[in-house]
Structure formats: C-alpha cells, structure tokens
Amino acid sequence: MNYFSQYLPLADIFLLALGFAFSQQVVLRAGVFSVATAGFASLGAYCSAILVTTYGWPAPAAIAASLLFGTAAGWCLSLPLARLRGIYQAIATLAFVQVVIAVMLFATSITGGGLGINSIPKSVGTGTLLAAAIITGYVMFAMQRSGIGRAFDAIQQEETVAAVLGVSIRRYHALAFTISGAIAGLFGGLQSLNTYTLTPSSFSFTFVIMVLGYIVVGGRRSAWGPVVGVAFLTLLPELSRGLAEYRPIVTGIVMIAVMIFLPLGLADTFILSLKRRKRQGNLVEGGTHVRSAS
C-alpha cells in the first residue's frame, strides 16, 4: 500500500495524493464511475520522466506536456466511455488502467519495462506541489459554484431528471473525463519529477484503491472532500507511529465503516448537516406548509 516511498517528506505525499484525489473526485461527482485516474497518472508520469531523462527537456515544459497528454488521454477515453454506465464504466476504465500498465511493461526500450525509469533528476519540490494543489483546488471550488457543478449534481442524483432539464449527460461525462485526465496527468508528471524513480506498478490496482478510498472517506461532492479524505488516510496513520504498521487494515475498516455509517463521506456529511440545521430553522417559521406537502 505504500506506493509513495516512505522517505518522502510527509507534505509531498499529502499534496500528490490530494492531486490524484481531485482527479478521482471530478468523475465520481459527475456520476461517472471511472477508475482511470491511475492510467492517466501513469501516462503523465512516464511522459515527464521520458522527456526529462531521454530528451533533456526542462522540467516545466515536461510537466506542461504531461498535463496536455493527460487531458488528451482523458478526452480520448471519454469518447467511447461516456456512453457506458455504472459497473460497466468501472470495469472498462480498470481495463484501461491494465492496458496502460501492460504497455509500460512491454515497451521496454522506451519505458524501461518492469525496472522502470530510475534516477530521474528531482526538480519538483514541496513548493511547486503546493502551488499545483492550490491551483487545482481553486479550480475545483470555482467549478463547484459554477453551472458545471450544478449540472454534475443533477446528473449524479438522477440522470433522467438531468436529461429532462436539458443537461447533456454525455457532454458533461466527457468533460469530467477530460478534467480528470488533465489533473491526473499533471500530478503524475509532478510525481515522477519528485520521487526519482518510476515503475509501472507505481500506478497499479493498489493505487486505484487508495485514490478511491480518499474520496469515499472524504466525500464526493464538496471540494473539501479530497482534502479531508487524503488527510485522514495519509496523515493520521503516519502521525501515530504505532498504527503505521496496521495502516492498510485500518484503511480497509475505515472504508467499510464510512460507507455504512456516513455514506456521503466525512466532509459532505458535515456540510450537509450544517445546511440541514439552517434549513430546519427556516422550516419552523414556515411550518404550516409542511402539512399540505404530505
């Protein structure tokens, strides 16, 4: 489960995980059950690593290329996948992740195969990661408040209703895929220039699980969801040393418990209960309407 080397500073682990969590959240928020984030991240990471080590590109250009590559991959994948639903989407995107891993293993001359790419010069520090996370977070917040956010909500709640309201589900699903690809590509690139080494297994099934876990624990709707989820799952076990050994088991138990008791996730449940409290205040004033509603 420790796909991030434990020697990395905690802040870097947190910020990279946060980026991938944002990428995962965008799709889930729009009602797309995609686990493609791992595939996009892998493509972005290899893109930067290869450009820097083989072609000697400067880091900023390589990262920009990763971002573009991720965006393109997200958009391409959305073309066929926006028509699928639910479990079909999940399996298809998992197949995509597996194809990416298999290609990385196969194309040894370019990717180094199973050994991966080593001694990548470290050109991305905590500051850059922080800047990237803040910008991504800001975009997520802005989207939350825009029409896109409302369209995503409508789709997630009830697709038929969304269709009646004139929301083009396919278009928004495609948009969600593309944004997810862009964010994952960017942070994949950042990770490879931050962690020295890159292998195909960096973004395997384990990665898929962890990233899903962040959103499940944190929440699918609010932009605070990924922050809370990543903090909960990466920082808490790290800070309490005794627990670190049992971290995966704790993660598993937390995933079950949160889904059963707080199916919306920590952040979303909290925000919803705040809103409810507000609304209940309003209801008392207009209490006479309740009867006719029943």
- By beta-carbon proximity to another protein, the closer residue of 67 and 90 is 90
- Stretch touching another protein by CB under 8 A, among 142-150, 177-185, 212-220, 226-234: 212-220
- By beta-carbon proximity to another protein, the closer residue of 6 and 119 is 6
Interface characters, 17-46, with another protein (x: CB under 8 A):
----------------x-------------
- At residue 125, φ and ψ (nearest 5 deg) are -105, -175
Round to whole Å and give the CA distance between 25 and 229.
11
- By beta-carbon proximity to another protein, the closer residue of 61 and 253 is 253
Round to whole Å and give the CA distance between 185 and 118.
19
Question: Which residues are paired to 286 by β-bridges?
Answer: none
**Tally of CB atoms within 10 A around 44:** 34
- By beta-carbon proximity to another protein, the closer residue of 33 and 270 is 33
Label residue 56 left, alpha or beta by phi (over 0 means left) and psi (-120 to 50 means alpha): left
Round to whole Å and give the CA distance between 165 and 68.
32
Name the minimum Å distance from CB 160 to another protein. 12
Name the minimum Å distance from CB 38 to another protein. 13
Residue 138 touches another protein, criterion: CB under 8 A: no
Name the minimum Å distance from CB 23 to another protein. 17
Q: Distance between the two ends of the chain, CA-based, in angstroms?
A: 50
Name the minimum Å distance from CB 254 to another protein. 7
Task: Please name the amino acid found at residue 112.
Answer: G
Contact set for another protein, span 230-289 (CB under 8 A): 246, 248-249, 251-256, 259-260, 263
Per CB under 8 A, the list member of 72, 94, 139, 236 interacting with another protein is 94
- By beta-carbon proximity to another protein, the closer residue of 126 and 201 is 201
Round to whole Å and give the CA distance between 184 and 209.
15
Q: Which two tokens stand for residue 278?
A: 């507000």
Q: Are 203 and 42 in contact (CB under 8 A)?
A: yes
**Which SS3 state, helix, strand or coil, does residue 74 take?**
helix
Q: List residues near another protein by CB under 8 A.
A: 1, 33, 80-81, 84, 86-88, 90-92, 94-96, 98-99, 101-103, 105-106, 108, 113, 205, 209, 212-213, 216, 246, 248-249, 251-256, 259-260, 263, 291, 293-294
